[in-house]
């Protein structure tokens, strides 16, 4: 491990814990825009892990997850360095928006450039100051606005190291997700840094079950990387069962109207099951929304109004869906403790 670590011009010594405000831009009135960062450095050697949230500014479950992870980690016990960035897209966060003021999506703007758009400049600073200093990363997301996701990990599972990291997070559902052009995950991969993307809940909400799931997952990764000692209970228990989805697809509305869902997030559905009923304003005409495959509902829309063709239910398929269902139930019980 490099003895010297400098972020945003601030030196962070071994064994030190420090808040850094990384200046990335200014508002029209010259008010500085800073990304808040907390760095915890252990005295002993170890990996450097970053945990980032709110790259999409309205996806705020991760902001709370990051805050709670910060509370749990003490520098005197840590091996290596933890860099936590609770809010990356500070513009979007302050405006309750996914985007930057120019309507660009920061997670399509990596690795960015020094002389590019506002999004490209912010991405470039983030890469230079944070990502390239790290050996591993976790990026925390939620569904888009009015869409909810079952807690899940998306990662490039063809890479063995990333796969181990993904399993150690401990959520039952893993999605082997291809890299999106311009995403932080793609940029990190190009630098050879294994990275996980956690998805859970919906935008603009604090959802306690999702937050607990994210905190447990991050802590579990930190322990699995050897940055903190394993919990005694953790080493005694058999490893949590995790399942990799074979595929996933959206069920779209077969008709416009208002709908009542008959299946919930995390439900096990069989091909042909009724997922929702769409009706006209009088309730005299009804259209069934049917599952086109058997699987688990990993995402859904929260607005009960649809146009014909709107995405309604995201269903992931698995080789043994019944096992996945029981793992999800067990996992949910664990979150209630």
Give the interface with Zn ion as residue ranges (CB under 5 A).
56, 59, 141
Tokens linked to 116: 């590019």
Shortest separation between residue 200's beta carbon and Zn ion, angstroms:
11
Is residue 144 within 8 A of residue 303, CB to CB? The reply is no
Judged by beta carbon, residue 205 or residue 241, the one nearer Zn ion is: 205
Shortest separation between residue 135's beta carbon and Zn ion, angstroms:
23
Shortest separation between residue 58's beta carbon and Zn ion, angstroms:
9
Judged by beta carbon, residue 95 or residue 256, the one nearer Zn ion is: 95
Please identify which residue in the block is written with the tokens 């082997």: 176
Angle between helices 208-224 and 160-169 (to 10 degrees): 130
Shortest separation between residue 65's beta carbon and Zn ion, angstroms:
13
Is residue 287 within 8 A of residue 257, CB to CB? The reply is yes
Q: Is the omega angle on the peptide bond into residue 111 within 30 degrees of 0, that is, cis?
A: yes
Shortest separation between residue 184's beta carbon and Zn ion, angstroms:
10
Please identify which residue in the block is written with the tokens 């869902």: 261
Shortest separation between residue 197's beta carbon and Zn ion, angstroms:
8
Distances (CA, A) of 255 to 274, 277, 308, 309, 310: 14, 10, 4, 7, 9
Burial of residue 315 (CB within 10 Å: 0-12, 13-18, 19+) is buried
Judged by beta carbon, residue 56 or residue 163, the one nearer Zn ion is: 56
Angle between helices 61-72 and 208-224 (to 10 degrees): 50
Judged by beta carbon, residue 41 or residue 141, the one nearer Zn ion is: 141
Judged by beta carbon, residue 48 or residue 52, the one nearer Zn ion is: 52
Judged by beta carbon, residue 141 or residue 263, the one nearer Zn ion is: 141
Distances (CA, A) of 43 to 82, 130, 318: 12, 20, 43
Shortest separation between residue 204's beta carbon and Zn ion, angstroms:
12
Alpha-carbon distance 109 to 196, whole Å?
18
DSSP 240: P
Counting Cα atoms < 13 Å in the Cβ hemisphere of 299 gives 23
Judged by beta carbon, residue 56 or residue 147, the one nearer Zn ion is: 56
Shortest separation between residue 144's beta carbon and Zn ion, angstroms:
7
Judged by beta carbon, residue 198 or residue 243, the one nearer Zn ion is: 198
Judged by beta carbon, residue 43 or residue 146, the one nearer Zn ion is: 146
What are the phi and psi torsion angles at 32 (to 5°)?
-70, 140
Alpha-carbon distance 291 to 118, whole Å?
42
What are the phi and psi torsion angles at 133 (to 5°)?
-85, -5
Shortest separation between residue 56's beta carbon and Zn ion, angstroms:
4
Please identify which residue in the block is written with the tokens 């002389």: 115
């Amino acid at each position: 491990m490099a003895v010297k670590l400098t972020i945003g011009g601030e030196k962070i010594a071994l064994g030190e814990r420090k808040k850094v405000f990384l200046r990335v831009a200014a508002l029209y009135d010259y008010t500085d825009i800073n990304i808040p960062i907390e760095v915890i450095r252990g005295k002993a050697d170890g990996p450097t892990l970053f945990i980032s949230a709110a790259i999409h500014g309205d996806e705020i479950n991760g902001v709370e997850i990051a805050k709670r992870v910060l509370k749990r980690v003490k520098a005197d016990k840590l091996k290596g360095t933890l860099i936590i960035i609770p809010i990356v897209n500070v513009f979007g966060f302050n405006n309750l928006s996914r985007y930057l003021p120019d309507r660009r999506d920061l997670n399509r703007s990596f690795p960015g450039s020094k002389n590019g758009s506002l999004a490209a400049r912010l991405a470039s600073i983030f890469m230079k100051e944070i990502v390239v200093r790290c050996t591993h990363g976790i990026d925390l997301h939620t569904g888009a606005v009015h869409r909810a996701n079952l807690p899940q990990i998306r990662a490039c599972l063809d890479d063995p190291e990333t796969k181990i990291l993904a399993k150690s997070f401990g959520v039952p559902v893993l999605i082997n997700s291809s890299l999106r052009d311009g995403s932080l995950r793609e940029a990190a991969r190009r630098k050879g840094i294994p990275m996980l993307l956690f998805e859970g809940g919906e935008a603009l909400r604090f959802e306690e079950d999702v937050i607990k799931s994210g905190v447990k997952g991050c802590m579990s990764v930190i322990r699995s990387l050897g940055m903190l000692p394993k919990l005694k209970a953790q080493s005694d228990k058999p490893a949590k069962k995790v399942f990799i989805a074979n595929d996933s697809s959206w069920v779209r509305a077969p008709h416009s109207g208002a709908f009542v869902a008959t299946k919930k997030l995390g439900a096990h559905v069989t091909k042909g099951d009724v997922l929702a009923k769409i009706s006209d304003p009088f309730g005299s005409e009804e259209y069934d929304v049917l599952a086109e495959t058997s699987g688990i509902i990993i995402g859904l829309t929260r607005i009960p109004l649809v146009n014909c063709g709107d995405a309604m239910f995201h269903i992931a398929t698995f080789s043994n869906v019944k096992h996945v269902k029981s793992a999800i139930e067990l996992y949910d019980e664990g979150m209630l403790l």
